Amino acid sequence: MKQEIAHIAIVVDDYDKAIEFYTQKLHFELIEDTILTETKRWVKVRPKGSSGCSLLLAKAANDEQKSRVGNQTGGRVFLFLHTEDFKRDYQNLITMGIKIIREPSHEEYGTVAVFEDLYGNLWDLIEST
């Protein structure tokens, strides 16, 4: 039996603003943008070169969902972006004006920094040792 996580939904306030952030600032690829209804789209992005799990950008549809935008995990790191070139990707975060929450540090598992996406969700950028 084989199982895998296909998508992780991240609640956003605007599809196009989220697509722009993830594709232009983090250099993810837009892998799907399908209109489902007048107000709902099926939008998936993932890091370039990855064939694994994608982010499903889910527009908040009610007040409760809107209250979760940027705080899906109560302030903990939410997503983990692994890289083969930490220096390149960290420099991209700086160049793109992305807020760094914790400067790079060398841990026993690798080099890591924490950054914030446009909604305030926390991410680890990690290059494993």
CATH architecture of 70-129: Roll (3.10)
- Identify the pLDDT of residue 98: 98
- Identify the pLDDT of residue 107: 97
Same fold, 1-69 and 70-129: yes
Question: Which of 99, 87, 111, 128 is closest to 25 using CA atoms?
Answer: 99
Domain residue ranges in the chain: 1-69, 70-129
Q: How confident is the model at residue 121 (pLDDT cuts 50, 70, 90)?
A: very high
Q: How confident is the model at residue 119 (pLDDT cuts 50, 70, 90)?
A: very high
Would you say 83 and 125 are in contact if contact means Cβ atoms under 8 Å apart? yes
- Identify the pLDDT of residue 48: 95
Average pLDDT over the chain reads: 96
Query: 122-128 and 77-82 as β-strands: parallel, antiparallel, unpaired?
Result: parallel
pLDDT in tens, 48-104: 999 999 999 999 999 999 999 999 999 999 999 999 999 999 999 999 999 999 999
Would you say 114 and 121 are in contact if contact means Cβ atoms under 8 Å apart? no
Percentage of the chain modeled with pLDDT above 70: 100
- Identify the pLDDT of residue 99: 98
pLDDT in tens, 2-50: 999 999 999 999 999 999 999 999 999 999 999 999 999 999 999 999 9
- Identify the pLDDT of residue 30: 98
Residue 28, phi-psi category: left (phi > 0), alpha (psi -120 to 50), beta (remainder): beta
Looking at the domain 1-69, which fold is it?
2,3-Dihydroxybiphenyl 1,2-Dioxygenase; domain 1 (3.10.180)
